[in-house]
Amino acid sequence: MHHIARLTLAALTATTLTACTTTNAGTPTTTSTTKSSAKPSGPGELDLQRFTSDPCSIVSTGDLATFGKFAAPKAEADGPNGPSCAWDGKDPLEDSSYQVVLVVKGATLESFREANKSRKVFRETTIAGYPAISYDTASGTLDCNTAIGTSDKEAVLIQATVGDSDKTYAGKPCDAAEKFGTTVMSKLKP
């Protein structure tokens, strides 16, 4: 299975997330964070339940085209954190891969933050007006996770693995995960 599957199993089983911050040289650094409320301060809570039966319908073929070439999407109905959809790159070694997990089984942005704030690569950000974190357990140059708080009970997890032919995000997987997250959030808003 592709890089994203390996990342998915580790990230979801442990119910942890990591974020990235990069310096101008592209070297990830750790940022300090302060404890914040578990309730997202975004534009309003989002209902993820309307997509749980078909998480692959969140992102359209047209949206995917802006991120690269992909094999057919693979849905998982009952993952550890909730249903998910993976879009593996057409050529797993060359093309980037993404996964969206609808976190509806108890984990929240705050739980992801607490579990991952000491990761090697970690940053807090905002995506589509919603609080988010991005992280990676390694160098932050190949894989990254971005968790977006959609309510005080649910979140969306984006996982990105950057392929060698992805010139836009080469060495910047957290940027890729956050950009994909922006696309996902635009589809989740009512």
Averaged over 100-128, what is the pLDDT?
Answer: 95
User: 24 by DSSP, 3-state: which?
Assistant: coil
pLDDT of residue 41: 53
Structure tokens at 181: 């997250």
The whole-angstrom separation of Cα 111 and Cα 71 is 32
pLDDT above 90 covers a percentage of the chain that reads: 64
Kind and range of the H or E element at 181? helix 173-188
- 3-class DSSP state of 43: coil
Q: Which of 50, 38, 23 is nearest to 123 (CA)?
A: 23
134 confidence band (pLDDT: 50, 70, 90): very high
Short-list 19, 5, 10, CA closest to 147:
19
Confidence of residue 156 (pLDDT cuts 50, 70, 90): very high
The strand pairing partners of 161, in sequence order, are 97, 143
Q: What is the pLDDT of residues 41-71, one digit of tens each?
A: 567 889 899 999 999 999 999 999 999 999 9
| Topology (CATH level 3) of domain 49-188 | Protein Transport Mog1p; Chain A (3.40.1000)
Q: Global pTM?
A: 0.79
The answer to whether 58 touches 181, Cβ cutoff 8 Å, is no
Residue 103 dihedral angles phi and psi, to the nearest 5°: -85, 95
